[in-house]
Amino acid sequence: MPRLLGVDIPTDRPIVISLTYLYGVGPKIARELCHKAGVDPQVRARELGEDEVARIAALLDKDYVVEGQLRRQTSQNISRLRDIACYRGLRHRRGLPVRGQRTKTNARTRKGPKKTVAGKKGVKDLR
């Protein structure tokens, strides 16, 4: 099983698909990597030689921000927004949608499961 940047990529899939298992590598970047490294995109990952895997790893290190470095960069950007207390930072801090979505309904992914609040009971007339 080939290992790139600390991630085991699937061996039974074409290399262009296997590369998308890396954080920060999508279909477009995977095709670019195959082209730059001179690897056939449809060849299975298990059929790659050590030199081809090394070429892909070198290209990833040199030209792209992926895996741990990208995760670290993203978390630093979010913490910077939190520290300067801008609107987006406050939304991150409160766990609410950041990009202007409505929250009266349909924000369950960010807000989590419903927390039911007990409503007031009707006051009965006691005359």
Which amino acid is it at 23? Answer: Y
Cα separation, 51 vs 42, in Å, equals 17
CB atoms within 10 A of CB 73: 12
For residue 100 the two structure tokens come to 């202007």
Cα separation, 54 vs 71, in Å, equals 23
How do 3-4 and 7-8 pair as beta strands?
Answer: antiparallel
pLDDT at 117: 86
Question: What DSSP character marks residue 19?
Answer: G
Instruction: Tell me the pTM.
Output: 0.76
What tens-digit pLDDT sequence spans the chain (127 residues)? 788 888 888 989 999 999 999 999 999 999 999 999 999 999 998 898 899 999 999 999 999 999 899 999 999 999 999 999 999 999 999 999 999 999 999 999 999 999 888 877 776 756 6
Contact 36, 15 (CB under 8 A): no
